[in-house]
A and B are shown apart, each in its own frame.
Chain A
Amino acid sequence: MTQAEGTFNRLANPTRFMGLASTILPWLTGLTAILLVAGLYLAFFVAPEDYQQGHTVKIMFIHVPFAWLAMMGYSVIAIASIGSLIWRHPMADVAAKTAAPIGACFTLLALITGSLWGKPMWGTYWVWDARLTSVLLLFFLYLGLMALWQAIEEPSRAGRAAAILAIVGSVNIPIIKFSVDWWNTLHQPASVVKLDGPAIHSSILIPLLIMAAAFTCLFFVLHLMAMRTEVLRRRVQALRLTHVDAAGATQGARA
């Protein structure tokens, strides 16, 4: 076996992934566009306005999907991390690493849309509501993961360290959620409007579900593209290493 093969071997031959990604991506992108257009149309022109909240209820159609993706993003990372720790599959590393910034973005968007929604509803941009607080803590977990990836130079080591942290985090998320709920019930301010009133009417629920599906597809489009970029980045790195080694060998032979 030559050195180049050995180096490429570490990617567990991602050719199949690359092929798969380029087959799926156009279809998935198309599906995302259709769902997004349909969902936005239904949300803005068909769904009724809330008698209490008026126009502002429209934020819900993007806020709720963002919040859902914030959690799904972390689940993707946690599952990929288990794959990378147990099977040491390099593609699992790539999946976990690339999902983190995307998930963090959706988490931040959920926080921003949540606080924009909060302004007309609560009269303030931020309330220490149990949901907002636990999403904020989730955002910190994302930041920690990304910082750890950045701090460790060697990709395989960084991958496994981040995987350990991600799994610890996923064990902790329910505990954090539980404790924040507990904390909130102790300090509950009376003025907060409760969102979960009567069951959501289908004229709102259907656009909401379509929007959620659209953004979920968008997540995977972005994730596949990011994974493809990461594979290419690592391939460039591997080629550079073989180049350096080859140069070293000829210099050694000359000397």
Chain B
Amino acid sequence: MKLTIQDLRCIRGGRVVFDALSFAMKSGSGVELSGPNGSGKSSLLRMLAGFIPAAAGRIHLEGGDDEASLGEQCHYVGHLNGVKRALSVQENLAFWAEYLGGGDIESALAAFDLESLSHIPAGLLSAGQARRLGLARLALVNRPVWLLDEPSVSLDTGSRKLLSTAISTHINAGGMVIAATHAPLGVKFSHTLKLDAGGQS
């Protein structure tokens, strides 16, 4: 599987955020996005997920499911957790497993150390626990591309380790990970993509 990005241009609110951005990655590799605030890391991830249309250029996933869009083959973890406060941890995951298609809830709970909390309503979780529940989606439903926007926010050291293990496992199993992060995730990424504030890359 190969993800190719060619001459991508992003315009937000009348400004060119980045332009002529190209890179390619193969399955079993990870890309770390770096750059100052406003350099378009989040915009790039949202564009890959299909939320923002590209002003120019193209994104292509080779060897994936040709029937499905790239968005349907990726996990996007943004600033929000996508957790329903009125549902329990278990019910949150059960819905995603049903809606996104398949998945082993027990192992997802285990991967992010949530087993002991599984019957607690998500509204009672601490910020770090809610983040872990948001991340548990990654382990729950198998999708080849992971788009992570500051995934380690509000995680403590132990939870960060769980995240880096999950990322490493996914890469070793032939997945692709693109992550934007300020704090080091403790994962060896094969490439780093630097985005500058000036819109060049």
Contacts and interface: CB of A to CB of B under 8 A. Distances in A.
Indicate whether A and B are direct neighbours in the complex (CB within 8 Å): yes
A1 interface: yes
A7 B197 contact: no
Given A3-B199, A252-B197, A245 B13 contact: no
A3 B197 contact: no
Interface stretch (B14-22, B65-73, B138-146): B14-22
Interface in A52-67: none
A59 B19 CA distance: 59
B2 to A, nearest CB: 28
B198 interface: yes
B15 A3 contact: yes
Contact of B14 (A238, A248, A249): A238
Contacts of A238: 14
A90 B9 CA distance: 18
B47 to A, nearest CB: 16
Given A249-B198, A252-B197, A3 B14 contact: no
A208 to B, nearest CB: 46
Nearest to A244: B15
B139 to A, nearest CB: 35
A6 B13 contact: no
A7 B14 contact: yes
B14 A241 contact: yes
Interface in A210-255: 237-238, 241, 245, 248-249, 252
A154 B13 CA distance: 6
Interface residues of B, number: 10
Contacts of A154: 13
A245 B9 CA distance: 17
Binding site secondary structure of chain A:
helix
Contact of B11 (A10, A248, A249, A252): A10
Contacts of A248: 197
Interface string B148-162: 000000000000000
B197 A6 contact: no
B15 A241 contact: yes
Contacts of A241: 13-15
B120 to A, nearest CB: 38
B40 to A, nearest CB: 13
A237 to B, nearest CB: 7
A3 B13 contact: no
Contacts of B15: 3, 6-7, 241, 245
B197 to A, nearest CB: 6
Interface in B4-42: 9, 11, 13-16, 19
Contacts of B14: 7, 10, 237-238, 241
A154 B12 CA distance: 9
Given A1-B16, A7-B16, A245-B15, 19 more contacts: A1-B19, A3-B15, A3-B16, A3-B199, A6-B9, A6-B11, A6-B15, A6-B16, A6-B19, A7-B15, A10-B14, A154-B13, A237-B14, A241-B13, A241-B14, A241-B15, A248-B197, A249-B197, A252-B197
10 contacts: A6-B9, A6-B15, A7-B15, A7-B16, A10-B14, A154-B13, A237-B14, A241-B15, A245-B15, A252-B197
